[in-house]
């Protein structure tokens, strides 16, 4: 049992998968190549003699990882690298001057550097190595005294930072990630909202610092919330809200019979089906208005029958129906229905199954009821069927 527990504990050391695209990984490596080359080259031109002042110090490599690989991190922002490196260099030089034991001086330098960076809000992990370099860098570093703060630390930090700003701008990436004012909430209706204050309260209760900017974290959480809301409506389909038992007619149904069905079932449209139950048209009250037409309409129909002879009959649905019918599949997401009703003037949309046979009907009322239920509960419910013929 202890061996299994040990294995499970060791599995906790396995790294999480890296989701970054390979192009972004190569871009980060190229940025570090350019940044370090420019930093070392420019420092070499300005300083000249590398024996007196190194034109590259090791902490710049660690800073390059943050600036080019994780530029969104709060630890990689301009004030972090400039402020963190400079304050750590000052602390390291001071400890090297006044604490004679190198181990004690190194430990104290890192301790004080971390405290100073937290106080000045410029935490930058490579700056701990800057403090160690000031203590353990050898006679050439010690000979520089506080000049070590200016060159190489401040000079190389500034050149590397400017390289990162230029590189990210040229490659279309946002940098730096400055602190931004909170944006208005865009939480979808029916979803539980959170405020910036809620986020800050949760972060303040954590016992460790997260390597992510609060603005980026808030944007990520809100985008995730919107994605989850959109996914719910993607999963909610026409089959969940359509009326399944539909009153329908055939093309050879008389207009009078169709009108009677509309009145009896109190509906506004009837799908017209062929012999295979496929939708070939739709007839509405507006289409059948001439059939009813009041006294004037009935007089007109009587005159037409008189003129056409005794063989004249009431018009058939085939002559009055709309043949250009918009249909949707049972698997269509209800979010796709919104533009159909809102922008294209549809009021009744037949729903067809896998073989294009009529499976149901959706009205504007069905859509609104479905959206409302989804917003409240997130769980689909089938609409109540109409009375069957």
Q: What is the pLDDT of residues 229-260, one digit of tens each?
A: 656 666 678 888 888 888 999 999 998 899 88
8 A C-beta contact, residue 162 and residue 35? no
Q: Count how many residues are written for the chain.
A: 389
**Sequence-ordered list of residues with C-beta below 8 angstroms from that of 54, at least 6 positions apart, any chain:** 140, 141, 152
Higher pLDDT, 46 or 105: 105
Between CA 317 and CA 298 the distance in angstroms is 18
pLDDT at 193: 67
pLDDT at 161 over 60: yes
pLDDT at 218: 80
DSSP letter at 55 equals S
8 A C-beta contact, residue 108 and residue 99? yes
> Which of these, 59, 339, 385, 44, lies nearest to 246 by C-alpha position?
385
Higher pLDDT, 311 or 280: 280
pLDDT at 188 over 80: no
DSSP letter at 330 equals T
Query: What pTM value is reported for the model?
Result: 0.57
pLDDT at 375 over 50: yes
pLDDT at 303: 58
User: Of 59-73, 180-194, 261-275, where does mean pLDDT reach its minimum?
Assistant: 180-194
Between CA 226 and CA 194 the distance in angstroms is 13
3-class SS at 74? helix
- Report the pLDDT averaged over residues 364-368: 82
- Report the pLDDT averaged over residues 111-136: 96
Domains contained in the chain, CATH given: 20-170 (no CATH), 239-377 (3.10.580.10)
8 A C-beta contact, residue 90 and residue 146? yes
Site of tokens 């070590």: 148
Q: What is the percent of the chain with per-residue pLDDT over 70, rounded to a whole number?
A: 79
What DSSP element (H or E) covers 350?
Answer: strand 348-352
3-class SS at 56? coil
pLDDT at 183 over 90: no
Task: Write the DSSP assignment of 199-215 as a string of letters.
Answer: HHHHHHH-SS--SS-HH
Main-chain phi, psi angles of 349, to 5 degrees = -125, 115
- Report the pLDDT averaged over residues 194-215: 75
Tokens standing for residue 125: 């992990």
pLDDT at 167 over 70: yes
pLDDT at 387: 41
What DSSP element (H or E) covers 271?
Answer: strand 269-273
pLDDT at 388: 38
Angle among Cα 152, 155, 161 to the nearest 5 degrees reads 125
């Amino acid at each position: 049992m202890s061996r299994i527990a040990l294995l499970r504990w060791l599995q906790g050391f396995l790294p999480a998968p890296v989701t970054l695209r390979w192009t972004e990984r190569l871009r980060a490596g190229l940025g570090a190549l350019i940044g370090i080359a420019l930093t070392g080259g420019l420092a070499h031109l300005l300083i000249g003699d590398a024996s007196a002042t190194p034109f590259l110090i090791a902490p710049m490599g660690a800073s390059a990882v943050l600036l080019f690989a994780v530029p969104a991190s709060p630890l990689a922002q301009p004030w972090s690298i400039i402020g963190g490196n400079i304050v750590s260099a000052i602390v390291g030089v001071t400890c090297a001057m006044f604490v004679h034991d190198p181990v004690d001086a190194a430990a104290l330098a890192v301790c004080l550097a971390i405290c100073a960076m937290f106080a000045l809000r410029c935490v930058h992990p490579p700056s701990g190595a800057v403090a160690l370099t000031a203590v353990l860098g050898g006679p050439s570093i010690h000979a520089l005294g506080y000049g070590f703060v200016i060159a190489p630390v401040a000079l190389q930090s500034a050149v590397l930072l400017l390289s990162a700003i230029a590189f990210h701008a040229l490659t279309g990436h946002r940098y730096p990630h400055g602190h931004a004012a909170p944006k208005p909430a865009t939480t979808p209706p029916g979803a539980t909202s959170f405020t910036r204050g809620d986020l800050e309260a949760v972060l303040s209760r954590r016992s460790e610092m997260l390597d992510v900017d609060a603005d980026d974290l808030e944007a990520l959480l809100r985008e995730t919330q919107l994605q989850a809301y959109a996914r719910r409506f993607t999963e909610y389909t026409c089959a969940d809200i359509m009326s399944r038992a539909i009153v329908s007619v055939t093309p050879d149904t008389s207009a009078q019979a169709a009108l009677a069905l509309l009145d009896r079932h109190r509906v506004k449209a009837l799908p017209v089906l062929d012999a295979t139950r496929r939708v070939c048209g739709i007839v509405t009250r507006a289409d059948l208005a001439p059939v009813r037409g009041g006294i004037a309409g009935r007089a007109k129909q009587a005159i037409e029958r008189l003129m056409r002879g005794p063989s004249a009959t009431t018009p058939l649905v085939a002559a009055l129906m709309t043949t250009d019918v918009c249909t949707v599949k049972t698997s269509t997401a209800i979010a796709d229905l919104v533009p159909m009703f809102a922008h294209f003037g549809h009021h009744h949309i037949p729903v067809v199954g896998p073989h294009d046979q009529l499976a149901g009907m959706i009205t504007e009322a069905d859509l609104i009821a479905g959206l409302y239920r989804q917003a409240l509960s997130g769980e689909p419910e089938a609409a109540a069927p109409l009375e069957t013929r």
